[in-house]
Chains A and B, each alone.
Chain A
Amino acid sequence: MTGVPTRSVPRSGARLALEPGLAVAVVGLAVLSMLTGPAGFGIPPAAAGLILVEIRLPRTLLALLIGAALGASGAALQGYLRNPLAEPGVIGISGGAGLGAVLAIHTGAASAFALALPLGGLLGAFAATTLVLLLAGSGGRSLTLVLAGVALGSVSTALISAVLSLSHNPFAAVEMVFWLLGSLADRSLTHVWLSAPFLLAGMALLLRLGAALDALTLGEEAAENLGVDLARVRRDLVAGAALAVGAATAVAGTIGFVGLVVPHILRPLVGHAPGRLVRASLLGGAVLVLAADIALRLMTPAGELRLGVLTALMGTPLFIWLVVRTRRDMAP
């Protein structure tokens, strides 16, 4: 039965154009982000250079990297758990990062030196990851991972609330709440250098999982028969998501909905293949966060609205639209 080797299904043009299209959008939005801000043209060149390098460049780079990290993590987790509702929160990492950062503020470490906040977040993320992996056990099954992650996420949320309610200093409490809401304002290049290695390493781990995630479409047994090492996939997934989401949360606070919505929107456009979806969602996440951060600066130049609030506000209608679409598709 060896006929002429032709593709029985032509790859559709839309599928091929998706990733280059998203890449172009990322570049375009990054340029736009460098051009957006309260300072207009006509200021002295020295000041303009300073604003571009010290204020807008870190903001643009962080929006791009963090968006990409959140998008890729969401897609990889959804693919691994084979559940379209999975997001970085379900394995407890963002909760751990949030707790670490809140503790850094509460103990006063954050006011002692500026990097204590992101470092606290990173530490919290790694502590949470270690605990989740220990709790989930050594087998390669995905259910225990979710159970352990949800348990740890709940504990983190409870402890964050405890720290908030125990905080005697109202300014510290306000700082914690604002930080938890997520923002890219007033970040420096130091934040970029601190988080970029973790973000990039995490994304590299997640991108390598593509083929294993595709194989898991057929269930864990069939994937194993196709050569997938389930235990290693789980380890790489958790490590990759922890690096990416932990570092993102550590420098920018909680930016919700990106990891949930971006893979959802892009999934049909990549033919539902979970491996391709990780790549596409990496680009799509960067597009969404860059766009949201630009919109934020245009709407409230003085910076009252927080990025995490805006992504949630943007994400919710998209999600409702997805519900409606799914309902229509499922109609008899």
Chain B
Amino acid sequence: MRLATEHIRVLRQRTRVVLDAVSCQLRSGTLTGIVGPNGAGKSTLLQALAGLLPVADGRVVLDGTPIAAIDRLNLARAIAYLPQERRVHWPLPVRDIVALGRLPHRWTPAGESLADLTAIDAALATMDLVGLADRPADQLSGGELGRALIGRALAQKAPIILADEPAAGLDPAHALDLFGVLRRLASDGHTIAVALHDLSMAARFCHEVVVLGAGRVAAAGPASQVLTRAHLEPVFGVQFVMGRIEGLPVVLPTATRP
């Protein structure tokens, strides 16, 4: 599925412009990274793409249909959104957290269907949570909780996944696994976008990259063409060293620019 913003303008507190004239597109089979400094509008862009924010100008389009015209349940089945906020308000066991992802598929009081059970078990296995399934949320580490919440988004079985810093707090092994999973989902035909700060990870795993600076698109396109010093340094205000180590791309910030 194709999800795109067309010249959107998003305001917060009624007057503060957070996104201005932002056009970007997410395509099926593609893992898109959204990068930019703090406050550049990465989270806002993901929320707008997920249909969670009113757009002051322009529109968000899902396969040719304006997202505002799609009812909530169909939208929930099409787009799984993982907020940056990692909070579970009641100490639910991990399995029950993951099972919440099935809600858009069973808003009737019926119990879990075979499809629900399959999706939940698959999400638990993918996020390496099988051993933690019975552990209550308040006894999880930050990274484990993060994995459980990603598991929820996977169990939603939506063709589009939007994740706001999904790798934050994950150890290197689980972070690599996560991007491997996202990349595999993309090659299965999913449409995936992640906001992230680790530019080396973006260079290694993302097919496409959108660079946001101060609420506008500074650059967008294939990762190898966008993640260059010319594009990144003015936006981040940092000098970068770029290269490859043992064949893997590395984007290393070295010094803040004077």
Instruction: Decide whether A and B are members of one complex.
Output: yes
Residues of A at the B interface (CB closer than 8 Å) are 1-3, 5-9, 82, 210-211, 214-219, 221-222, 224-229, 267, 271-274
Residues of B at the A interface (CB closer than 8 Å) are 47, 50, 52, 72-73, 75-76, 79-83, 85, 87-93, 95-97, 100-101, 103-104, 107, 109, 114, 117-118, 120-122, 124-126, 130, 133-134, 136, 149, 152, 156
Partner of A227, one of B91, B95, B96, B104: B104
Taking CB atoms, residues of chain B closer than 8 Å to A267 are 90
Taking CB atoms, residues of chain B closer than 8 Å to A227 are 72-73, 75-76, 103-104, 107
Chain B nearest Cβ from A181, distance in angstroms: 33
- A292 vs B181: C-alpha distance in the bound complex, in angstroms? 56
- A102 vs B97: C-alpha distance in the bound complex, in angstroms? 46
Known A8-B124, A221-B47: A272·B85 in contact at CB below 8 Å: no
Taking CB atoms, residues of chain A closer than 8 Å to B88 are 217-218
- A229 vs B76: C-alpha distance in the bound complex, in angstroms? 11
- A274 vs B96: C-alpha distance in the bound complex, in angstroms? 12
Q: Is the pair A218, B100 in contact by a Cβ cutoff of 8 Å? A: yes
Chain A nearest Cβ from B86, distance in angstroms: 9
Q: Is the pair A6, B121 in contact by a Cβ cutoff of 8 Å? A: yes
Q: Is the pair A9, B107 in contact by a Cβ cutoff of 8 Å? A: no
Whose C-beta in chain A lies nearest to the C-beta of B134?
A: A9
Q: Which of A2, A216, A227, A267 has the largest count of B CB atoms less than 10 A from its CB?
A: A227
- A5 vs B123: C-alpha distance in the bound complex, in angstroms? 12
The 9 closest A-B pairs by CB, nearest first: A227-B76, A82-B89, A225-B81, A1-B122, A272-B90, A5-B117, A221-B83, A9-B95, A227-B104
| 29 A-B pairs with C-beta separation under 8 A | A2-B118, A5-B114, A7-B117, A8-B95, A8-B124, A82-B89, A210-B109, A211-B103, A216-B89, A217-B88, A217-B90, A218-B88, A219-B85, A219-B87, A221-B52, A225-B80, A226-B103, A226-B104, A227-B72, A227-B103, A227-B107, A228-B72, A229-B72, A267-B90, A271-B96, A272-B90, A272-B91, A272-B136, A274-B90
- A82 vs B85: C-alpha distance in the bound complex, in angstroms? 15
Chain B nearest Cβ from A18, distance in angstroms: 16
Chain B nearest Cβ from A231, distance in angstroms: 11
- A82 vs B90: C-alpha distance in the bound complex, in angstroms? 8
- A8 vs B93: C-alpha distance in the bound complex, in angstroms? 12
- A5 vs B80: C-alpha distance in the bound complex, in angstroms? 22
Chain B nearest Cβ from A202, distance in angstroms: 19
Taking CB atoms, residues of chain A closer than 8 Å to B90 are 82, 217, 267, 272-274
- A8 vs B124: C-alpha distance in the bound complex, in angstroms? 9
Whose C-beta in chain B lies nearest to the C-beta of A232?
A: B72
Known A226-B76, A227-B107: A271·B117 in contact at CB below 8 Å: no
- A282 vs B208: C-alpha distance in the bound complex, in angstroms? 52
Taking CB atoms, residues of chain A closer than 8 Å to B130 are 8
Chain A nearest Cβ from B48, distance in angstroms: 12
Q: Is the pair B47, A1 in contact by a Cβ cutoff of 8 Å? A: no
- A211 vs B96: C-alpha distance in the bound complex, in angstroms? 12
Q: Is the pair A221, B85 in contact by a Cβ cutoff of 8 Å? A: yes
- A101 vs B257: C-alpha distance in the bound complex, in angstroms? 70
Whose C-beta in chain A lies nearest to the C-beta of B162?
A: A225
Taking CB atoms, residues of chain A closer than 8 Å to B75 are 227
Taking CB atoms, residues of chain B closer than 8 Å to A222 are 81-83, 85, 149, 152
Q: Is the pair A226, B47 in contact by a Cβ cutoff of 8 Å? A: no
Q: Is the pair A215, B95 in contact by a Cβ cutoff of 8 Å? A: no
- A216 vs B91: C-alpha distance in the bound complex, in angstroms? 13
Q: A218-B89, A218-B100, A224-B72 are in contact. List 7 more A-B contacts (CB 8 A).
A: A1-B126, A3-B122, A5-B117, A9-B134, A215-B103, A225-B76, A227-B75
Taking CB atoms, residues of chain B closer than 8 Å to A210 are 109
Chain B nearest Cβ from A253, distance in angstroms: 32
Q: Is the pair B121, A5 in contact by a Cβ cutoff of 8 Å? A: yes
Whose C-beta in chain A lies nearest to the C-beta of B156?
A: A226
Taking CB atoms, residues of chain A closer than 8 Å to B80 are 225
Q: Is the pair B121, A3 in contact by a Cβ cutoff of 8 Å? A: yes
- A2 vs B154: C-alpha distance in the bound complex, in angstroms? 13
Taking CB atoms, residues of chain B closer than 8 Å to A82 are 89-90
Q: Is the pair B52, A3 in contact by a Cβ cutoff of 8 Å? A: no
Q: Is the pair A219, B89 in contact by a Cβ cutoff of 8 Å? A: yes
- A214 vs B112: C-alpha distance in the bound complex, in angstroms? 15
- A264 vs B158: C-alpha distance in the bound complex, in angstroms? 35
- A125 vs B130: C-alpha distance in the bound complex, in angstroms? 48
Chain A nearest Cβ from B190, distance in angstroms: 14
Whose C-beta in chain B lies nearest to the C-beta of A276?
A: B96
Q: Is the pair A8, B118 in contact by a Cβ cutoff of 8 Å? A: no
Chain A nearest Cβ from B196, distance in angstroms: 19
- A7 vs B113: C-alpha distance in the bound complex, in angstroms? 11
- A5 vs B91: C-alpha distance in the bound complex, in angstroms? 25
Taking CB atoms, residues of chain B closer than 8 Å to A229 are 72
Q: Is the pair A8, B100 in contact by a Cβ cutoff of 8 Å? A: no
Partner of B125, one of A1, A9, A219, A228: A1
- A210 vs B100: C-alpha distance in the bound complex, in angstroms? 12
Taking CB atoms, residues of chain A closer than 8 Å to B149 are 218, 222
Taking CB atoms, residues of chain B closer than 8 Å to A273 are 90, 92, 96
Chain A nearest Cβ from B139, distance in angstroms: 10
Taking CB atoms, residues of chain B closer than 8 Å to A9 are 93, 95, 133-134
Taking CB atoms, residues of chain B closer than 8 Å to A218 are 83, 87-89, 97, 100, 149, 152
